[in-house]
Amino acid sequence: MAEKSTTEMKATLGLTGLTMNAMALIAPGAFLWLTFSIQATTGVTAPAMWIGILFALILCLATAVCYAELAKLYPGTGSSYYFAEQSFLNHDKHWRYARLSKFIVGWASHLYYWIYPGVMVAVTGVFCGYIAGTLWPNFMSASNPGTMFMMVVAILFSFGVAYIAHRGVTGSTAVNIAINVIQISALIVFAVLAIGYRLNHPPGSVAYQFDSVSGEAYTYEFATTQTTANGQTTETIVRDANMVPQPKMGADGKPVPYQISYPDKDAMGNFLSHTNARSVVTMHNFGWMFVQATVAILILVGFESVTSMGGEAINPKRNVPIAVITSLLVQGAFCYLFEYFAANYFLNSGYTMQSATGSSAPIGDMMIVVGDALLGAGRGRIFMLIEGITVFLALIGTTLSCINTGARVTYAMGKDQEVPEHFGMLHEKNLSPHRAIWALAIISAVIGCVALLMPFGDAGAIADTAIQALPHGFWSSVWFASSHDHMAALPQSLLTITLASNFGTFLLYMLSCVICIVAYQGHPNFSALRHLFIPVFGVLANLACMIFYLIGPFMGYGTKMEPLLALGIAAVWAIYGGIYFTRASRAAGRATFVASREGRA
């Protein structure tokens, strides 16, 4: 394979290319579909979903300002890793800490950049399982897809996207531009239809209710019968041989129409739906907002990705800062806030938040309902599948952008010999950090499979009646699905890996805010607002979210197992980093503190 460690990247990306690469990583078309179910399973905090996203957005905007300001000073490859080195090398007092600071930042960033693609390939497995179950319900459950099927999809997807990244950044940008246009258009269509459905169906009107087993929506009430499972008697829906729910018949011998309502909670106190639009944007509980923000950060990260492409950017000091802020404002402030409002406002008695908790793809279910209302009964599935194509394209874009970013940070550390030197090589023809890309593909596939071990654990545990209805083939079986109580006792693996990635994000963003303060201390272009107050706010906000991982579970907010397991993963990574740095430095005869300011920009 042709490769040279001395080959340099070419400047081929203008403002549009940089912005589109960042926007592809903050992919609203994919994340609304994929993250809504994760956010729905965070205990009792679901009512604060929208405000949690707003808080996470404010946190990200503060961090984005820091990245933009750093990119003005030090455009190059490596993002925060490069910024950390240059900020300290150019500081009159603290320059000796340049190597230590860049290693800490680079190592911490890998907790995010190496886990995040694994989350993406895992949710792609869930997405494909949902689509397979929708098309072939006798083969696969759409709400609870088979574990083995999802894992195989995750592995194939990881290596498929890595191949695109391996071909070079120019081809990746062309893909991302097309994907952004398609996904934003598609999500706006869904959001408008979801809001329209709520407005056109006042309480008491005839509407649709969704059935997760058949994957369809119906305008009649379901006939039920009492059944006993595990010693408990429950009301079970009567179904025909094709698992279609049978209608409840009225005194006139006709099916009883389903009348919609918007209840706040059920008899157990579980959240069901928002009674009005104001409820959607209300905080409800301060702690709930923090819990939702710790998950929502997953959907907003990526704006900083273009700072790792400074070596491939045209006029990087101008274009990279603009791309950082623009990508976050378009995708976060407009797309996410609009679409999450629409999805939460849509919730009703026919599809509640509890329905979303038990589904692998709540947004897909909602699309079937609004599609039936728009196109006619039975045609909602067609609408969902069309939207699903755009989601899959968005998944390619966000995973591609993340692998590109993560590989370039690893490449920068490889060039500096802070990680094995072979990671610092570029492919001679494609000029891509191909070794880092393929290593990340393997890591992503492994992490994706771990995330898919128990995606229906804890609060997302499957009901006993639903477990009995699951297919039990090699591809369709759900692992560990012996009973609801058994699954509820196990951690939700996808949420655990998501929180581990998010912890790395908060850590990286906090350190980047600190770097911004260091970089502009005593600088002639120092601004108290941009280089002190905003970075300090960013430090405190990110730190607060990390602390909430520890104290939140003990305060009764959200779930307990997943955030503590995520903290354990972060602790293991930190300990290993310290051991690796010490041993590598000793073996190479390198000092922890630099002896000169050679290499400063």
pLDDT at residue 97 greater than cutoff 80: yes
Least confident window among 30-39, 112-121, 304-313? 304-313
Distance, in Å, from the CA atom of 495 to the CA atom of 119, rounded to the nearest integer, reads 9
Percentages of the chain per state (helix, strand, coil), in multiples of 5: 65, 5, 30
What angle separates helix 49-73 from helix 337-346, to the nearest 10 degrees? 170
Which stretch of 3-17, 116-130, 257-271 has the lowest confidence by average pLDDT? 3-17
- Range 322-334 average pLDDT: 89
d(CA 456, CA 460): 5
Burial class (CB in 10 A: 0-12, 13-18, 19+), 142: buried
Write down how long the chain is. 601
Between 166 and 1, the higher pLDDT residue: 166
Q: Is the pLDDT of residue 3 over 60?
A: no
Q: What is the pLDDT of residue 558?
A: 67
Residue 478 has pLDDT above 70, yes or no: yes
Domain membership of residue 597 (yes or no) is no
**Which of the listed ranges 82-96, 166-180, 308-322 does the model predict with the highest average pLDDT?**
82-96
Average pLDDT for 137-157: 91
Residues 148/477, Cβ–Cβ less than 8 Å: yes
Query: Is 124 within 8 Å of 361 (Cβ atoms)?
Result: no
- 176 part of a folded domain: yes
Tell me the mean pLDDT in the region 369-386. Answer: 89
247 in a structural domain: no
Instruction: Choose between 139 and 198: higher pLDDT.
Output: 198
The rounded distance, in Å, linking the Cα atoms of 355 and 272 is 8
| Residue-averaged pLDDT of the chain | 86
Rounded Cα gap, residues 379 and 359, in angstroms: 20
Amino acid 12: pLDDT: 67
Question: What is the span of the domain harbouring residue 534?
Answer: 3-205+267-343+351-588
Which comes out higher in pLDDT, residue 591 or 460? 591
pLDDT confidence band for 6 (50 / 70 / 90)? very low
Is residue 262 one of the residues assigned to a domain? no
Name the least confident of 3-7, 87-91, 355-359, 502-506.
3-7
* Token output for 149: 């099927």
3-class state of residue 259 by DSSP: strand
User: For the chain, what is the domain count?
Assistant: 1
* DSSP-derived 3-state class of residue 245: strand
Residue 170 has pLDDT above 80, yes or no: no
Q: What is the CATH number of the domain that holds 378?
A: 1.20.1740.10
Mean of the pLDDT values across residues 161-184?
73
Tens digits of residue pLDDT in 380-434: 999 999 888 888 888 887 788 788 878 888 887 888 888 877 676 765 665 567 7
Distance CA 191, CA 582 (A): 52
Gap between the Cα atoms of 57 and 63, Å rounded: 10
Identity at 534, one-letter amino acid code = I
Residue 248 lies in a domain: no
Q: How confident is the model at residue 299 (pLDDT cuts 50, 70, 90)?
A: confident
* Residue 5 in this model has a pLDDT that exceeds 80: no
CA angle 45, 49, 55 (to 5 degrees): 110
In this prediction, residue 308 carries a pLDDT of 73
Is the pLDDT score of 2 beyond 50? no
Is 593 within the bounds of a domain? no
> CA 40, 45, 51, 57 torsion: positive or negative?
negative
> Do the domain assignments include residue 217?
no
Give the pLDDT confidence of 227-283 residue by residue, as tens digits.
765 667 778 888 888 888 999 999 888 999 999 999 999 888 889 999 999 999 999
Closest CA to 316 of 74, 28, 65, 578: 74
**Average pLDDT rounded to a whole number, residues 498-508:** 91
Q: What angle do CA 596, 598, 601 make, to 5 degrees?
A: 135
**CA–CA distance, 139 with 475 (Å, rounded to integer):** 8
Helix ranges, 208-315 (H): 277-281, 286-300
pLDDT on residue 333: 86
Domain-located, residue 598: no
List all residues 6 or more positions away from 251 whose beta carbon is below 8 Å from its beta carbon. none
In this predicted structure, what is the pLDDT of residue 246?
93
Tokens read off for 418: 């802070």
